[in-house]
Structure 1
Amino acid sequence: MPTADRDVHPKIRLLETASRLFYAEGIHAVGVERLVSEAAVTRATFYRHYPTKDDLVAAYLSTTSERIRAGVGAVTQGKPAREALLAALGIIGDRTLDDDFRGCQFLNAAAEYPDRAHQVRQVIDDHRNWFFGVLRDLARDAGHADPEHAARTLVLLRDGALHGGNLDDPETVRTTLARAVADVAG
């Protein structure tokens, strides 16, 4: 068990601990007691910053979304649209090669929160809608005949790669995703 850095603000320690544990073990598998123990905070501190565990889950996914948005922005900025489209999905293929890869945080969370009206699902939907919009806009800018269809296809390819990276050889998943994205991008 990693030890908490007491110089880090308790709210940040909770979020970092939750991010690590939720991704590695699943959201419902990790209880509040474990979170407060590993973050080295009290239950009162936990509930002061996150009134419910679901609030912490939403913060975990929002923070993950912000990180992904920054990463996609970094790899697409200043590139021609088709090249940016390939790069945006290339980072997903590359992620499947990481030793700590456990799939997509958003797909994993959606499996644990089936109610589409739940606040956690709303964070998931917001992220997915953002990513769809990025892909649609890049496909449009690249001159794709049907950018909506292209973006939907690319999101499905992304979802499949993020699940397949856990099930199959990650290098095969990465190269298959890259080839499929290139086919869709034209």
Structure 2
Amino acid sequence: MSDARSRLLGTASRLFYAEGLHSVGVDRILAEAKVTRATMYRHFAGKEDLVVAYLGEADRAMRQHVEAAVAGASSDSDAVRRVARAIAEHIRTEGFRGCAFLNAVAEYPDPAHPVHVAVLEHRRWFLNTVTALLARVGDTPAELHGRHFVMLRDGAMASGCLSDPGPIGDTFLDAVEGILAARST
């Protein structure tokens, strides 16, 4: 990745997450990234392509966090707990503003729009990944518990940027323990 593209994507990502996708203009991104409009258009067809690239980076980061959590786990249940702890820790980070994907879909409600499609692809991957992890814990079908996990995560993400994230993270972790207990019976 070229230095200019990296600066452009890094700046856009920071601004998009902190302030929203529609509220941040291209001129501001260019000024803060210290790149020209021509440089931006060499790397991205337009702002919406930059938004999709931002979501792609967020998706890659989430996948890496999940892979690292699973790789360091001592058991299948521990893998689920480690993924949940990574989410709870993310909620507790300085400047947390909720889920980048839920924020994006709120701004791009058209299901055919590339931004919306990128969100749905990420969410499909996450649901499938969590469901597969939960399937390794217990003998019953894991689809319902996978959906519960994702819904709990979504609620924790929304609540974590509206109130004190510490108790929200703890409540999320307690709920995941409930899912694991239900899987183990």
> TM over 0.5, yes or no?
yes
> Partner of 2:103 in structure 1?
108
Residues 9-158 of structure 1 aligned to structure 2 (within 5 Å) = 9-79=3-73, 80-143=75-138, 145-158=140-153
Cα deviation, 1:48-83, whole Å, max 9, x if unaligned, reads 111111100000000111011011110111521111
Give the TM-score normalised by structure 1. Answer: 0.93
The runs of 4+ residues in structure 1 deviating greater than 2 Å are none
3-state SS of 1:16 partner: helix
* Distance (Å, rounded) in 2 between the aligned partners of 1:75 and 1:152: 20
3-state SS of 1:167 partner: coil
Cα deviation, 1:132-180, whole Å, max 9, x if unaligned, reads 1111111111115230000000000000000000112211101100000
Report how far residue 112 of structure 1 moved. Answer: 0.4
Report how far residue 104 of structure 1 moved. Answer: 0.7
* Distance (Å, rounded) in 2 between the aligned partners of 1:25 and 1:144: 44
Change (3 A) 1:122 1:144: farther
3-state SS of 1:114 partner: coil
Report how far residue 9 of structure 1 moved. Answer: 1.2
Aligned CA-pair RMSD: 1.1
Cα deviation, 1:66-123, whole Å, max 9, x if unaligned, reads 0110111101115211111111121111111111111110011011000111111111
> Partner of 1:166 in structure 2?
161
Report how far residue 24 of structure 1 moved. Answer: 0.5
Give the TM-score normalised by structure 2. Answer: 0.93
3-state SS of 1:177 partner: helix
* Distance (Å, rounded) in 2 between the aligned partners of 1:144 and 1:155: 20
3-state SS of 1:142 partner: coil
Aligned AA (1:147): A
> Partner of 1:183 in structure 2?
178
Unmatched 5+ stretches in structure 1: 1-7
Aligned AA (1:87): R
Aligned AA (2:125): W
* Distance (Å, rounded) in 2 between the aligned partners of 1:153 and 1:120: 25
Unmatched 5+ stretches in structure 2: none
Q: Could you tell which deviates more after superposition, 35-44 or 137-146?
A: 137-146
> Partner of 1:4 in structure 2?
none
* Distance (Å, rounded) in 1 between the aligned partners of 2:163 and 2:98: 12
